[in-house]
Structure 1
Amino acid sequence: MEPGRAKPATARNWQHPDLRSWLQRLVATDRLVVAREGVSLIDELAAVAKKLELESAVLFPKPGQHDIPVVANLFADRGWIADSLGVPSGELLSRFQNAVRHPLPWIEVAAAPVQDVVHRDVDLLRQLPIPKHNELDSGPYITAALLIARNPVTGIQNVSIHRCQVSGPDRIGVLLLPRHTRHYFRMAEEAGEALEIALVIGVHPACILASQAIAALDDDEMEIAGALLGQPIEMVKCRTNAVRVPAHAEIVIEGRILPKVREPEGPFGEFPQYYGPRADREVIHVDAITHRKNPIFHTIVGGGVEHLLLGGIPREATLLEHLQRSFPSVRDVRLTRGGTCRYHLAVKIDKASQGEPKNIIMGAFGGHYDIKQVVVVDMDVDIDDPNEIEWAIATRFQADRDLVVVSGAQGSKLDPSSADGISAKMGIDATKPLSTEPMEFKRIHVKGIENIDLAREIQDDSKAAFARIVAS
């Protein structure tokens, strides 16, 4: 057994959750459409997906005349993500928190569907339907792959998602931000070695969600995925390296991040809805491609709703856990879509003391360096409604009293307003004072509105009813 935390396989009689099980759920609930055959992989596929991103998932048969279909838009809103885990929307963050607290080690198996077909003579664009997404992207990008890397010393694995530019038949440029994969790569590079990795395409949504957890170094996100599903993820050893990958994935690209090699990568349309710039970046050499019989390729349109939600919700759960350790009054958090589900955080609290919101603001800044703006609101504010948040700021906030500004802090390098990732932070206390006159901050309310049944109150044919009234 290689170093790590895998358990040996045992007898099982369940059907392992995978991408196909989620697609079947979408079809059964009328949330997936099938595009016409032959949609171009250059721009057109992304344009169709973008047009449908708030409505439905879309499957593209024979895109660019490839035999392998492409699927996009796995999620149109938070409710879809909750549904993929079998929980109501209101329990989504608590489910994720519990999975992070109680990870479930994966099981290693000897054979797997994802290795039904093996290509050792690699030609990425000939063998896989890899789309170009945004107008000024530098070319085709793999956008929905889990990058699984092993700690070169311990063998413990890390799972993350990176933008991957196809730059040759067996060559991929990859952006490594200052996180765990980059740490592993530096360890390998300092030893003069390549870092063995795998790019895993087409997995159950729980695996994608888990990859975005703000976890500690050497926490294996596939254990979080197992806890989200309530059963261990089955993993199999790659054919050309020691990385273990989800056995029921659709496609795996096996390779190595090369030491002391940097090549141009970008531009690429990123989550802030701007292009990440072109620069010399790390390079993956591809050694093999394995896949299921009749695989499905998952793509995510850069900067689209699926991109934002899949990254945002795991961060929300982790930030909520982080804040609740120090502030029991924190009840819920949202990374707002207008803030790219990364930069702007709304925090709902049951306020217990004056000054507490400012402490919570500073705690949130420490929860993740991407956080740029924090708004703290009371329990009567719906943090899923941007109008409610703006209303709280408009009526409960004074800039000379309730504003927190921090300059020169670490932020996101993908924020074009930052100075190479050096950013200012702003916190807004939009909560009511604890001691006020009873009517001073009393929200207006129409009595009985929550009991109105519009089907009973409104006539079926309003045009005919109007004509009768004005004619009388």
Structure 2
Amino acid sequence: MSVAPPPGADLRTWLDHLQRTDRLAVARPGAALRHGVAAVANRLDGTAATLFPAPDGHPVPVLAGVLGARSWVAEALGVGDDALLERFERATREPVPCTEIDTAPCQDVVHREVDLTRQLPVPTHNEHDHGPYITAGLLVTRRPGTRVQNVAIHRLQVSGPDRLGALLLPRHTLEFFDDAEARGEDLPVAVVIGNDPITLLASQAIVPVDHDELEIAGALRGSPLPVTRCVTNDVRVPAGAEFVVEGRLLAGTREPEGPFGEFPQYYGPRAERHVIAVDAVTHRHEPIFHTIVGGGGEHLLLGAVPREASFLSHLRRSFPSVRDLHLSRGGTCRYHLAVQIDKGSEGEARNVILGALAVHYDVKHVVVVDTDVDVHDPAEVEWAVATRFQADRDLVVIPGAQGSKLDPSTDSGVGAKMGLDATVPLAAEPMRFTRIHVPGEEQIDPSTAVSAASPNWQKDLIRAPAGDGPTPSSADE
């Protein structure tokens, strides 16, 4: 018996789902691509996805906020919030190969005469961004000489009618390009825009090189992802995408790119960076252009959930005591990691700290807490630090470590890492760290514990009928 795909397996189905549940807003036609789209999207961030008809009069609508809240991510995958990380982690372990088709919606229309500024409604987001940026495009590459693909999101500056500037950080895309450039060759690429939420999430999985994230998307969908070959190169792309921009990362070429508002809520600086020459643009009939506002909630969330799942899997292999973890919004969903453990021995929390700092160079600060602390609640984590942590005893500092180059407090990405052991000492007296608790509190239903209609507190409460409370003494009168 066939199983229905989860709601996030198709972009347009997902938009229908959001509209049915009052989470899709349609902006007034004609929003400005420069700052106007981003301004509205940010105001609705986390409450509704927003569709912008005719932005600056362009015939293609712009979409923002596809995944506006953590609960939406679980919903898109068809699971509960508590099963989200396990579902994603299992998909990284059990990928499903793609199925290739010859005729695909993403190639309904083919433009070999390319004019990006005319064919795509690319917004400019933040105040000091250099100009329009493609921010929700999956950059798909193939390792030279193999069929192995990599999928990632990189910021892409529209530098001309057929030219994109690309920031390639030291990850798998750059490794593929370095292989090609060492041979004096360009690297064929495809930029896929207007993807379903599940494929977007899969693109952010933290997996070893030579693991195709499109196969992780298939596992999350519960069926193979349909892909098709590009019209100008051998890269395979999701067949149901809205747009595909085909081109080549140019060997031996660097051009100015930036500044651009990034996830830490600062600007990535202008510098000489990689360049994509565009060979073709293909798209669906009546396509939709998806954008992710730099530094907004969708930007942060897309990085958080896949990383959490990958980090949880990695840490549990070495530390079975790890129960849960969370990358906090205040830590840009990259830099601050809270880890919950069921501590069995002293020193264990420190080992977890060291393992967590090594799991990915973005992780900067780690807090380890006990199982009675909800790592998804920043106030709970802060409380644990406030009441269970002593800096001269529980602080771990590692200087001179590789970090994020987008963290402005580092020296070109090199900085200090810190861990805080906010767990209870195992030898502590039982009542010393026992949390206060009101018996029966969890069973109270506030809707039945209070009056349906608010009474007049002076008339109905102070002067209660006889027998309903103490009678004032003559002295009180």
TM-score, structure 2 length as denominator?
Answer: 0.95
In structure 2, the residue corresponding to 1:209 is in which secondary structure?
helix
Choose which of 164, 183, 188 in structure 2 pairs with 1:191.
183
Matches within 5 A, 1:76-87: 76-87=68-79
Look up the match of 1:50: 42
Q: Counterpart in 1 of 2:26?
A: 34
CA RMSD after TM alignment:
1.6
Match of 1:129 in 2: 121
Deviation at 1:41, TM superposition (A): 0.4
Name the amino acid aligned to 1:150: R
Match of 1:420 among 412, 417, 434: 412
Specify the alignment match of 1:174 in structure 2: 166
Could you tell me which of 187, 194, 197 is aligned with 1:205? 197
Structure 2 residue identity aligned to 1:126? R
Query: What is the CA distance between 1:54 and its match in structure 2?
Result: 2.2
Shift of 1:471: 6.4
Distance 1:234 1:247 in 2: 6
When residues 459 and 239 of structure 1 are mapped into structure 2, their CA distance, relative to the original with a 3 A threshold, is same
Sort the Cα spacing of 1:468 and 1:42 in 2 relative to 1 into closer, same or farther, 3 A: same
Equivalent AA in structure 2 for residue 131 of structure 1: P
Q: Could you say which residue in structure 1 is the equivalent of 2:383?
A: 391
Matches within 5 A, 1:352-431: 352-431=344-423
Q: In structure 2, how many angstroms separate the alpha carbons of the residues matched to 1:71 and 1:121?
A: 25
Q: Deviations over 1:55-77 (max 9, x none)?
A: 11111111111111111111222
- Quote the offset at 1:30 in angstroms: 1.0
2:142 match: 150
Unaligned runs of 5+ in 1: 1-10
* Deviation readout 1:21-55 (Å, 9 max, x if unpaired): 11111111111111000001000110000011021
Unaligned runs of 5+ in 2: 465-477
* DSSP 3-state at the match of 1:176: coil
Look up the SS of the partner of 1:317 in the other structure: helix
**CA–CA distance in 1 between the matches of 2:3 and 2:388?**
56
Partner residue in 2 for 1:459: 451
Q: 1:164 to 1:467 in 2, by over 3 A?
A: farther
**Contact 1:115-1:291 within 8 A present in 2 as well:** yes
- Separation in 1, partners of 2:430, 2:179: 61
Aligned to 1:147, the other structure's residue is in SS state strand
TM-score by length of 1: 0.96
Partner of 1:293: 285
Residue 434 to residue 420, structure 1, CA distance change in 2 (3 Å): same
Task: Show CA shifts across 1:214-250 (max 9, x none).
Answer: 1111110001110011111000000011100000011
Identity of aligned residues (%): 61
1:251 counterpart = 2:273: no
Q: What is the aligned counterpart of 1:242 among 209, 234, 248?
A: 234
Residue 468 (structure 1) shift: 3.3
TM-aligned CA deviation for residue 464 of structure 1: 3.9
Structure 2 counterpart of 1:449: 441
Distance in structure 2 (CA, Å) of the matches to 1:42 and 1:192: 38
DSSP-derived class of the 2:346 partner:
coil
Q: Which amino acid aligns with 1:68?
A: V
Q: State the alpha-carbon separation in 2 of the partners of residues 210 and 331 from structure 1.
A: 23
Question: CA offset at residue 308 of structure 1?
Answer: 0.3
Name the residue aligned to 2:62.
70
Quote the residue 2:87 is aligned against: 95
Compute the displacement of 1:467 (Å): 4.9
Match of 1:270 in 2: 262
The whole-number CA distance in structure 2 between the counterparts of 1:259 and 1:464 is 77
Amino acid across the alignment from 2:370: D
The corresponding residue for 1:232 is 224
The CA distance in 2 between the partners of 1:90 and 1:467, in whole Å, is 47
Task: Please tell me whether residue 284 in structure 1 is matched to residue 254 in structure 2.
Answer: no
- Structure 2 partner of 1:7: none
Residue 119 of structure 1, CA deviation: 0.6
Counterpart in the other structure of 2:474: none
**Which of residues 336, 343, 348 in structure 2 aligns to 1:351?**
343
Which of 101, 112, 121 aligns to 1:109? It is 101
Please report how far the alpha carbon of residue 252 of structure 1 lies from its aligned counterpart in structure 2 after TM superposition: 0.4
Q: Distance in 1 between matches of 2:28 and 2:455?
A: 39
The CA deviation at 1:365 is: 1.1
Report whether the alignment pairs 1:436 with 2:424.
no
Q: Tell me which moved more, 12-21 or 354-363.
A: 12-21
CA contact (8 A) 1:138 1:266 kept: yes
Q: 1:5 matched to which residue of 2?
A: none
For 2:350 and 2:20, the matched residues in 1 are separated by: 47
Per-residue Cα deviation, 1:441-464 (whole angstroms, up to 9, x for no partner):
000001111011111111122254
**For the Cα contact (< 8 Å) 1:351–1:378, is it kept in 2?**
yes
Counting matched residue pairs gives 462
Runs of 4+ in 1 over 2 A off after TM superposition: 11-17, 463-472
Residues 1:463 and 1:65: Cα distance change in structure 2 (over 3 Å): farther
Contact 1:18 1:249 in 2 (8 A): no
Listed one character per residue, the Cα deviations across residues 388-420 of structure 1 (whole Å, up to 9, x for unaligned) are 101000110111111100000100000000000
Tell me the CA shift for residue 184 of structure 1.
0.7
Q: Show the counterpart of 1:320.
A: 312
CA contact (8 A) 2:327 2:335 kept: yes
CA apart distance, 1:12 = 12
Letter of the 1:65 counterpart: G
The residue type equivalent to 2:434 in the other structure is K
Asked whether the 8 Å contact 1:141–1:163 carries over to 2, the reply is: yes
2:108 corresponds to which letter in structure 1? Answer: D
Measured against aligned partners, the alpha-carbon deviations of 1:413-452 in whole angstroms (never above 9, x if no partner) come to 0000000010100000000011221211000001111011
Q: 1:170 corresponds to which letter in structure 2? A: D
- The one-letter amino acid of 1:140's match is P
**Shift in Å at residue 469 of structure 1?**
3.0
Structure 1 SS opposite 2:9: coil
CA distance in structure 2 between the aligned counterparts of 1:328 and 1:337, rounded to whole angstroms: 26
Contact 1:396 1:431 in 2 (8 A): yes
